[in-house]
Amino acid sequence: MICLVPFTIVGALLVGASVVRKQLGDAPAPPVAPSAQVDTNAWQKMTDLARADQLVQQRLSAVRRASDAVSTAERKRAALHAYWHPRRAPDQVTYASVTAQYQADDQAVANAEQALASARSCFSTAFSQYEKLGGTIDYSRQLP
């Protein structure tokens, strides 16, 4: 009989646990919404970043056009030099004209190079602003 006492106690505890479990249920605790801080300026930041991205793309396009202009001016100048280098001007008027064209082509190359430097500077400024706003695309790798 004394042997049955521990089994009776264990049985009573199991029955009690079963009753408590049925009353409280097995349902998990209700989910608690995580506390998140809302950035009230998020829309403005996103808009600013989109505008900066668009400006960087425009500046990149301007650098490409300026680079193409330099190439075109250099090719034109090279063609003039290639044509007149092995030849002599037949008269003084032609010589003066060719010399003026040499100077004009040299000036066109210098102007195109200056425009390219300016376009690169504008791109650099816009790209820096884009990066400050959180832009992640490396547009500088796309420069010619």
- Mean pLDDT, the chain, whole residue set: 87
For the chain, helix, strand, coil in percent to 5 are 75, 0, 25
Residue 113, C-beta contacts closer than 8 angstroms, at least 6 positions apart:
70
Residue 29: what pLDDT?
64
10-19, 23-32, 42-51, 128-137: least confident range: 23-32
76-101 per-position pLDDT tens digit: 999 999 998 888 888 999 989 999 99
> Percent of the chain having pLDDT more than 70?
87
Quickly state the pLDDT bin for 75 (edges 50, 70, 90): very high
Cβ neighbourhood burial of 123 (10 Å; 0-12, 13-18, 19+): buried
pTM above 0.95, yes or no: no
How far, rounded to the nearest angstrom, does the alpha carbon of residue 88 sit from its chain's CA centroid? Answer: 53
Q: What is the 3-state secondary structure (H, E, C) of 66-127?
A: HHHHHHHHHHHHHHHHHHHCCCCCCCHHHHHHHHHHHHHHHHHHHHHHHHHHHHHHHHHHHH
Helix (H, G, I), strand (E, B) or coil at 40: coil
What is the CB neighbour count within 10 angstroms for residue 130? 23
Top pLDDT among 64 and 39 is at 64
- The mean pLDDT value for 47-56 works out to 94
Please answer whether residues 120 and 63 qualify as being in contact, where contact means their C-beta atoms are separated by less than 8 angstroms. yes
Residue 9: what pLDDT?
75
Distance CA 106, CA 115 (A): 14
Domain boundaries, the chain: 42-142
